Amino acid sequence: EAGVTQFPSHSVIEKGQTVTLRCDPISGHDNLYWYRRVMGKEIKFLLHFVKESKQDESGMPNNRFLAERTGGTYSTLKVQPAELEDSGVYFCASSQFGTVKYFGPGTRLTVL
Amino acid sequence: SQQGEEDPQALSIQEGENATMNCSYKTSINNLQWYRQNSGRGLVHLILIRSNEREKHSGRLRVTLDTSKKSSSLLITASRAADTASYFCATDLGGTSYGKLTFGQGTILTVHP
């Protein structure tokens, strides 16, 4: 069984540019989560999809972040425009029943 | 302070020794989980303990949970160099927050061969 995959693994962009991160959950997992770890800080929840619906987006930092999950399969997280403080590692996770999480390898985002 | 706080922040031991990491949290939880992250890799789920459980084992891992003290510990016995990684506890509050994990800052474990 393939695990959670994320693309790209690394992204380096200039401040003000746009970046789109992609997450492919484990097939059949209705729950998809985005988390972020900013340098030196703890891993923080961003949002939770159940199928294509946003169940909880209380962790999204501001309206520069847009997450979508069209069709209830893969998800994208767009940051537009990117700021320096957006640098960090973005993790995606999926689960079938909502408790145990399978995490992807993360996307390391560097905003210069 | 964060929901999940871990100590020590860093732990350095010799192969064969045991490693103990602690996690404290502030609110009632549904379950507590431990994860491992190897450098540059994703988070790997190690073990989950529910609020009505006091101890769980999985291979060389032993997790305890004391809900009265709002604390948990992860014990890795007979450590190996391959256990070198960052370890995180994460709490799940359940209810309307079910599935939304709150992580601690982690413990960096280094096991010297």
Strands B43-50 and B55-58 come out as unpaired
pLDDT tens digits for range B66-101: 999 999 999 999 999 999 999 999 999 887 777 789
How far off is chain A from B88, nearest CA to CA, in Å? 9
Instruction: Please count the residue pairs, one from chain A and one from chain B, whose beta carbons lie less than 8 angstroms apart.
Output: 58
Report d(CA B69, CA A5) in Å as an integer: 37
Portion of chain B with pLDDT greater than 70, in percent: 96
Number of Cβ atoms within 10 Å of the Cβ of A7: 15
Residue A85, SS3 per DSSP: helix
Is A12 within 8 Å of A74 (Cβ atoms)?
A: no
Which sign, positive or negative, has the C-alpha torsion A6, B93, B59, B86? Answer: positive
Between positions 79 and 108 of B, the ones with CB within 8 A of A are 88, 90, 92, 97-106
How far off is chain A from B63, nearest CA to CA, in Å? 16
Nearest to A33 by CA among B48, B4, B99, B92: B99
User: Could you tell me where the DSSP H helices lie in chain A?
Assistant: none
Confidence bin at B4 (pLDDT 50/70/90): low
Confidence bin at B39 (pLDDT 50/70/90): confident
Cβ–Cβ gap A45/B101 under 8 Å: yes
Q: How many residues does chain A have?
A: 112
Count of CA atoms in the C-beta half-sphere (13 A) of B15: 5
> Which of B92, B105, B106 is closest, CB to CB, to A99?
B92
pLDDT tens digits for range A60-79: 999 999 999 988 899 999 99
